[in-house]
A and B are shown apart, each in its own frame.
Chain A
Amino acid sequence: NAGVTQTPKFQVLKTGQSMTLQCAQDMNHNSMYWYRQDPGMGLRLIYYSASEGTTDKGEVPNGYNVSRLNKREFSLRLESAAPSQTSVYFCASRVFYRGGLNSKSYNEQFFGPGTRLTVL
């Protein structure tokens, strides 16, 4: 299994340009997430998709759109890039099992390697 893969690894854009960050997972997970991380900061949730066909806003959705193309793929689009969107973008997928009386709930996120985006 490749786990969670992201493309591209690095990208430089000019202000106003558009681009799509790709994310794919081969673990058959239902939930997928996009985060951004600015230097010295924690991760902030942009959008997430609890299951195929659904998407929801996270903490910082403005300036972004997402598409859950199928169960495997969850893309993040910047329609008109701004310097404030310079960041490292992480995609994640999650497996969740709500345990029963004798078993613990299992809930783990798996992260991709990140895309480093610079907007000039």
Chain B
Amino acid sequence: DAKTTQPTSMDCAEGRAANLPCNHSTISGNEYVYWYRQIHSQGPQYIIHGLKNNETNEMASLIITEDRKSSTLILPHATLRDTAVYYCIVRDDKIIFGKGTRLHILP
């Protein structure tokens, strides 16, 4: 079973920061938080992952709370091409996808 809870959908204005939340209250100490996205019918694409420190790469930033029970993926300047389903995953071996958040970027 997926170990995460995400909102079903979110809207964000183009050019603004998109903040996607994820709850993972049962995360264990050695489990990482991963984010993937799936753009219309394509295979999912890795975005970022982290353990307990905040992480940033060329695509996004990941903020993990101190108790590690939740995290937020931040797309700093959302564009129309960021319209996708975003999956938050907590698992170390076999990666189980939940239903994700459908992000709509509004022009």
Contacts and interface: CB of A to CB of B under 8 A. Distances in A.
Interface of A: 4, 33, 35, 41-45, 48, 50, 56, 58-59, 88, 90, 92, 94, 104-105, 107-114
User: What is the size category of the interface that chain B forms with chain A?
Assistant: 20 to 34
A42 B44 CA distance: 10
B45 A56 contact: no
Given A104-B51, A105-B51, A107-B49, A90 B95 contact: no
A88 B96 contact: no
- Consensus secondary structure, chain A interface: strand
Contact of A42 (B34, B45, B87, B92): B87
A42 B46 contact: no
A112 B100 contact: no
B34 A59 contact: no
Contacts of A108: 46, 49
Interface string B46-58: 1001110000000
24 contacts: A4-B43, A42-B2, A42-B85, A42-B87, A42-B99, A43-B38, A43-B87, A43-B97, A45-B95, A45-B96, A48-B94, A50-B93, A56-B94, A58-B96, A90-B43, A92-B43, A92-B44, A104-B51, A105-B32, A108-B49, A109-B44, A109-B95, A110-B46, A113-B42
Given A42-B99, A42-B100, A107-B49, A33 B94 contact: yes
